[in-house]
Chains A and B, each alone.
Chain A
Amino acid sequence: MIETRLGEFEEVILLLTGILGEEAYSFKIAEEFESQTKRSVSIGAVHSTLNRLEEKGFLTSKVGNATAERGGRRKRIYTITAYGKRALESARDLRMSLYNQFPAFAGKVDFGFGGL
């Protein structure tokens, strides 16, 4: 049985894959992760997570086109699946419900999730 819960890192990687769209491959996701979170990460770590998310069915991947800048080597582009989107939604809902129950934050902070 594959674990279908999302970890924090997995959640961020999944979101970044969605954000980057056609540009979502290991190197770009790692770069984006570093620039958005100011945390450093190795490509291997990202790749490993992507691989795991794909095994869980949250992502699919296909081999993209060759580009000149990486010596003609092709990339593996990841795309978020409908199942992956649902996992994100449920993760967000859980968090929102928890934030709303926490008196210090309830009703005061809008995380911008509402607009999605």
Chain B
Amino acid sequence: MNRKHTIPPRAARWLLLRFLRNDLAEEVEGDLEEKFFAELKHQSSFKAKINYWYQVFHYLRPFAIRKNKFTAIYYDMYQNYFRISWRGLLRQKMYSAIKIGGLAIGVAACFLISLYVNDELSYDKNFTGENGPYRLVVEAEIDNGKTGRTVDFPAPATAALKNDFPEVEQAGRYLSSALFGADENEIRRSDRNENQHESGFVYFDQELLELLNLPVIAGNAKYALTEPNSIVITKRKAEKYFPGEDAVGKTFIINNNKKLFKVGAVIDDFPANSHLQFDFLMTLSGVEFWPGEQSWWMASNYQIYLTLKPGTDIQKTADKIKWGFIEKYYKPALVASGAVGFEKILNTAKFELQPMNEIYLDGSVYDGLPHSDIRFIWLFGAIAVFIVIIAGINFVNLSTARSANRAKEVGLRKAIGSHTSHLIKQFLTESFLFSLLAIVAGIIMAWLLLPYFNMLASKSLTFPWTVWWLVPGMLASALIIGILAGLYPAFYLSSFKPVNVLKGSVSKGSKSSATRSALVVFQFTTSIVLIISTVVIYRQMNYMLNKKLGFEKDQVLLLQGANTLGDKIPAFKSELLKLSQVQSVSVSDYLPVRGSKRDGNTFYNEGMEKIERGVAAQKWVVDADYIKTLGMKLVSGRDFNPDMTSDSASIIINQTMAGQLNLENPVGKVIQNWQKYTIIGVVEDFHFESMKENITPVCFVVGMSPSMILVKLRSENMREAIAGISNVWNKFSPNQAVRFNFLDERYKATYADVERTGGIFTTFAILAIIVACLGLLGLSAFMVEQRSKEISIRMILGASVRNVFRLLTQNFVLLVLISFVIAAPIAWMLMSKWLQDFIYKTDITWDIFVISGSCALMVALITVSYQAIRAALANPVTNLRSE
């Protein structure tokens, strides 16, 4: 190898000379070359070259780098821009505060909404994998022509899935209906006496545990639910019931039953953004709710999740499952039961495999789970953007309005030799500075407001201090907002002609008043739309809360967990009736409030079960005092009579059910499901589900459903009544704390989502109008400043305060009126759309528009009039003295 002719790498030398100070070039190059040849003596030429590169990079030091003359100038200029901006900011405190404060509010709102939207979209991401899990969904005809999507399947469906379809890898079920003892229960450790009320009970397959990959903390994941009577609990419940102990292998008693549930495993809590929220997973192994239930295809109570083998086509598999189920199971079962007219329903049914991450956002499935509404997510996102735009408009408006004050500066800079492009840069720098300050302020504001926002949206969002994108994201959005908001003012201001400006002939900020007016109109249009929407949402909320429901929801106390009283219930009931504050008492788990216990049954007119399609109806097990306690009205027939033993085969139906059964005079007719019932009465239709749905058939039979006791109170002295009831309770059930709530509260809680939407709308409507008014305040202050001499002269010539006031406000009032004209139809369209969700709804009446419009007008007027009155009351001499 000829080392004599090896030379230092050219590229490295070129690089060195690119950045090295000229006066150092000779000596450094010499040193490095000497080093290179010294290295070459005892190393390979490759290593020597690498070393040369290394040395070059180590010359990247401040002392050695050439100072670029141009960068230095740019640097100085930017420094100057920043300094000028900063001075301007401090000098014009009010305008700066409006610009920055408004934008900060906008940014805070936008940030909070982004957090919210991000959280809503993050549901079940942790479950979702390439091959599932999927949820099995079926879309089928409910009544004539209408279809609905449900997730309920019969018990043997999972076994069928795994036996008949090789595409299915794993399949598991859960059952969460209170009808079968899931949902809410009284529970205690088997070595304690005190019952605790818990919710989040569910029956669960071992295989579902596995296919959902629920993280097992303690115990064996493979056998957690394989044994009959085993139970899996979450970490938080393990810590609650077995603090400091190993929960696995311990036993629970549920509802005072003799059966012991043994803890098979402890799993991690379900994350807050999961559509599944359970705490006690009871095994389905060895469970059969009635003889033959586990192999019966005619009762659908289970929700099914499954995973597929890799590379399986999802839709094809769903279709295959549908036809497989129908041909092999549904049809034979239906034929055997003698049902008629099912072919069309079966053939038109659609099966879907729904990916986990779509479940939460899809509210169209009847699954009893909380859902978000993708439309609202979009809507909130849009509101966030609009608020930022409104704040940005303030920025543009105030910058252009105050152009007169900057005109001389622009003229001077141009006269000295500044280019238009330099000025544009200067103004963009300035708006970047403003937007950066606003964003920092906005983020801090968002952080401070987060607890309130969590309450409003009933979320538990945390501030993402630690995420990597926070700072870069803030800078990027400062840059984007700064440029967008600064672009128009920058071009506008930099286009001034120096000669005109320095002569003093630039009209004082009035040139762009058309643009400014348009922007103000935009701001107020948005605000008014939000105000109208808020009013309509609250109207609907009020409508739902105050509508005549068909039962009395006030002063009904609900005692819960009474099932543990067992056969002492009649005694307990009569003891309660002895209290002077108690009007009547009824024992029933079925409440006319959404989210209570429900069931599904099909009823036929007597002897028609093979001829007509039955009527799907709720069958509520109540006692003889139910109708009386809830203040329902009988339109015909009589109430149950506790003294008549024949009433065990009697039934009371609602009007809708009578209509669907085609009964003109229902009383005395016989209907049947498994057994025959004689109709003894018809109750007036009452609302027991959401106002978003029609009232459906429901009927009452007498029986025992003892976990809830309804107590109707006389209106006086609630506290005394509660104390009395608690006393009685403690006498009967000393080991279980009394637990109660009120029917009207529960009813109200079922509309929490509407209330939440209302709360969020109110907040953002207020924010929007505050930001818009901030802008108006700035504009009016500016206008008064500009016209102060004119006003003074007018006043000297005899104008009254009222004249001046009108002069200064009429323009703004006109703008708000124009906004209202634009906003009203938009809001009307939006809210009609929203109300379409409800069957029972309030009307959008003209007074809503009047209230909202005058509200906006008032606020705008108050904002403007502060400045106007100040101007009108000012002493003309002070303004005119100087000329």
Contact = CB atoms under 8 A, between A and B. Distances in A.
Interface of A: 25-27, 30-31, 42-45, 47-48, 51-52, 63, 69-71, 73-76
A48 B33 contact: no
Nearest to A55: B63
Nearest to A67: B30
B54 to A, nearest CB: 7
A80 B365 CA distance: 86
Interface centre among A30, A44, A47, A71 (most CB of B within 10 A): A44
Contact of B59 (A25, A44, A69, A71): A44
A32 B858 CA distance: 84
A17 to B, nearest CB: 15
Given A31-B38, A44-B55, A25 B61 contact: no
A26 B63 contact: no
B27 A25 contact: yes
A47 B59 contact: yes
Contacts of A47: 28, 31, 59, 64
Contact of B58 (A44, A74, A76): A44
B54 A42 contact: yes
A76 B33 contact: no
Contacts of B29: 71, 73
25 contacts: A25-B27, A27-B30, A30-B35, A42-B54, A42-B55, A43-B31, A43-B32, A43-B59, A44-B55, A44-B57, A44-B60, A44-B61, A45-B61, A47-B28, A51-B63, A52-B63, A63-B27, A69-B34, A70-B30, A73-B26, A73-B29, A74-B27, A75-B27, A75-B30, A75-B31
A26 B61 CA distance: 15
Given A25-B31, A26-B27, A51-B63, 6 more contacts: A43-B35, A43-B55, A44-B59, A52-B63, A73-B26, A73-B30
Interface string B41-76: 000000000000011011111011000000000000
A83 B34 CA distance: 31
Nearest to B7: A71
Contacts of B95: none
A7 B871 CA distance: 67
B729 interface: no
A27 B64 contact: no
Contacts of B28: 26, 43, 47
Contacts, number: 65
B805 interface: no
Contact of B26 (A42, A44, A52, A74): A74
Contacts of A48: 61, 63-64
Nearest to B59: A44
B42 to A, nearest CB: 12
B33 A71 contact: yes
Contacts of B63: 48, 51-52
B22 to A, nearest CB: 14
Given A27-B35, A48-B63, A48-B64, A43 B58 contact: yes
Contacts of B64: 44, 47-48, 51
B435 to A, nearest CB: 39
Interface residues of B, number: 21
Contacts of A51: 63-64
B37 interface: yes
A111 to B, nearest CB: 31
Contacts of A75: 27, 30-31
Contacts of B61: 44-45, 48
A60 to B, nearest CB: 15
Interface in B4-31: 26-31
Contacts of A73: 26-27, 29-30, 33
Q: Which of B37, B38, B57, B61 has the most CB of A within 10 A?
A: B61
B363 to A, nearest CB: 65
A71 B54 CA distance: 21
A26 B37 contact: no
A27 B32 CA distance: 7
A52 B64 CA distance: 11
Residue with the greatest number of chain A CB neighbours at <10 A, chosen from B31, B33, B35, B60: B31
Nearest to B37: A69
Contacts of A71: 29-30, 33
Mostly helix, strand, loop or mixed at chain A's interface? helix
Contact of A27 (B26, B31, B54, B60): B31
Nearest to B54: A42
B764 to A, nearest CB: 56
Nearest to A41: B58
Contacts of B31: 25-27, 43, 47, 70, 75
A27 B37 CA distance: 12
Q: Which of B34, B37, B54 has the most CB of A within 10 A?
A: B34
Contacts of B58: 42-45
Contacts of B32: 27, 43
A82 to B, nearest CB: 24
A63 B60 CA distance: 22
B69 to A, nearest CB: 21
B397 to A, nearest CB: 50
Given A45-B58, A71-B33, A76 B27 contact: yes
Nearest to A74: B26
Contacts of A43: 28, 31-32, 35, 55, 58-59
A13 B29 CA distance: 21
A48 B24 CA distance: 11
A47 B27 CA distance: 10
A5 to B, nearest CB: 19
A25 to B, nearest CB: 7
A23 to B, nearest CB: 12
Nearest to B56: A44
Contacts of A30: 35
A42 B60 CA distance: 11
Interface in B358-373: none
A70 B54 contact: no
A80 B864 CA distance: 75
A115 B55 CA distance: 38
B324 to A, nearest CB: 73
A26 B27 CA distance: 9
Q: Closest 7 A-B residue pairs measured CB to CB?
A: A44-B58, A73-B30, A42-B58, A27-B31, A70-B30, A44-B59, A76-B27
B49 to A, nearest CB: 15
A74 B28 CA distance: 9
A30 B38 CA distance: 12
Contacts of B27: 25-26, 63, 73-76
Contacts of B60: 44
Nearest to B30: A73
A50 to B, nearest CB: 10
Interface in B70-96: none
A75 B55 CA distance: 17
Which of A26, A27, A48, A76 has most B Cβ within 10 Å?
Answer: A27
A30 B61 CA distance: 17
B57 to A, nearest CB: 8
A28 to B, nearest CB: 8
Nearest to B29: A73
A84 B440 CA distance: 49
A63 B63 CA distance: 18
A45 B33 CA distance: 16
Contacts of B33: 70-71, 73
Nearest to B51: A42
B137 to A, nearest CB: 67
Contacts of B54: 42
A27 B59 CA distance: 13
A43 B63 CA distance: 13
A16 B32 CA distance: 19
B24 to A, nearest CB: 8
Contacts of A26: 27-28, 31
B815 to A, nearest CB: 61
A47 B38 CA distance: 18
A84 B877 CA distance: 73
Nearest to A50: B63
Contacts of B59: 43-44, 47
